[in-house]
Amino acid sequence: MTSSPRRVPIPKNGVDYRGKVVLAPMVRSGELPSRLLALKYGADLVWGPETIDKSMIGTTKRINPVTSTIDYSRVSSNGGRNPSVPLKESNIYRLHPAQEYGRLIFQIGTSSPTTAVEAASLVAPHVAGIDVNAGCPKPFSTSGGMGAALLQTPDHLASILSALVSEVGNVYDIGISVKIRLLETPEMTEALVRKLCGTGITGLTVHCRTTPMRPRERAIRDQLRMIADVCRHEGVACVMNGDVKNRDEAQQLMQEFRVDGAMLATAAEANPSSFRTMEEGGLLPWREVVQDYMKIALDVDNKWGNTKFTLGQLIPGKLEVYRKVTRCKGYTEACEALDLNHLLDQARAVDERLSISRIPEVAAVSNAKSKNKTAQAAGGRTGVERSSTSETRPALSERGVGRSTATAALAV
């Protein structure tokens, strides 16, 4: 009689990563609209972007009555130089408790068990799991002892995971997981995985690249079966990441390498309908994806700067409409550039809530610029006529002329 494989129990408020094709954690490309769009197209779970523990500590949690989201915000640390100017509040993290319920994993950047627990505890009641980033190779992360730097201190990384399991996972009944990269040798990777699996985590994701490798370099899968076998022996779900193009390929790779799940990253960034199977129609045209994305971004009052960045990933760069969108300063202009006229009313309302100003040029000024530049520069009869009518005509400021668009408060 053979015994069934060991499995670390999945907490009642957590989620099992087995059999899942998920959205990878990506800075800028993992904000709320992108996550909701991935779920719409079939992602089983979504990871939020890496959020540094210290940036979460001290935030204020609010339920947004307009968007039905939960927002974690704080006053900008760059403010306060001019006491006459109100301090600006920055949104650190936003989630949708209804649409992301049971499917959102909060990824944390940390180098300390204490701050990791403090920050994770703030969001733990509203997510299905906490994932520690131990794979980011960027200097802003590694210089603080976070991300891939944790791979060089496996005991310290294990202490962070153990603290999260005992003080967050067990308290809020959610799973704790970790995302790593390959080490220099298979033996080193195996030893690391065994150590981490012994901390009580429910899942481990391996990015199939070493720390020095960049996304353009092909993923290395030679160690994947070994890692999956170690995780299976320890009862921990194993998720693969790196060069997975769509759901169909993800499922094929899961079977080939005996892993439990797969992450889509750059493929989903370029077109999140990559979560659709070929039976469901496969990739959607970019215009349909952009329309769906814009509607979601408007629904949740997404920061315009992030929306503009994401549109730059979704729209083919060689098209004229791409250049038009890159020049847009808000949702109204973007909807006009994309011919999304049915969203214009909502776009204007969101621009107003986000304090995005759009001052159209007065027709008379535009006409003068194009047809009467010499007279305008010299004064001539134009100046006389202007002075003679100055008492009856509204002030320029009342007509919207002369306001600097540079002073408009753009959400970024």
Catalytic (active-site) positions = 136
Q: By the 8 A CB rule, do 103 and 128 touch?
A: yes
Helix (H, G, I), strand (E, B) or coil at 104: strand
- Give the span between the Cα atoms of 157 and 149, in whole angstroms: 10
Secondary structure letter of residue 274 according to DSSP = G
Please state the separation of Cα 139 from the chain's center in Å.
19
- Give the span between the Cα atoms of 385 and 266, in whole angstroms: 60
Residue 161 half-sphere exposure toward CB, CA atoms < 13 A:
30
CA gyration radius, the chain: 26
- Give the span between the Cα atoms of 80 and 323, in whole angstroms: 37
The amino acid at 340? L
| 261, containing H or E segment | strand 261-264
In the numeric block, the tokens 């006491």 are attached to 83
Q: By the 8 A CB rule, do 175 and 9 touch?
A: no
DSSP string, 233-253: HHT-EEEEESS--SHHHHHHH
Helix (H, G, I), strand (E, B) or coil at 107: strand
Q: By the 8 A CB rule, do 45 and 22 touch?
A: yes
Six token digits for residue 320: 């004229």
| 45, containing H or E segment | strand 45-47
Angstrom CA distances, 190 to 207, 227, 253, 354, stand at 14, 7, 20, 49
The C-alpha angle with vertex 93 and arms to 152 and 65, in degrees rounded to 5, equals 165
Q: By the 8 A CB rule, do 190 and 226 touch?
A: yes
Residue 280 falls in which region: left (phi positive, over 0), alpha (psi -120 to 50) or beta:
alpha
The C-alpha angle with vertex 209 and arms to 119 and 22, in degrees rounded to 5, equals 55
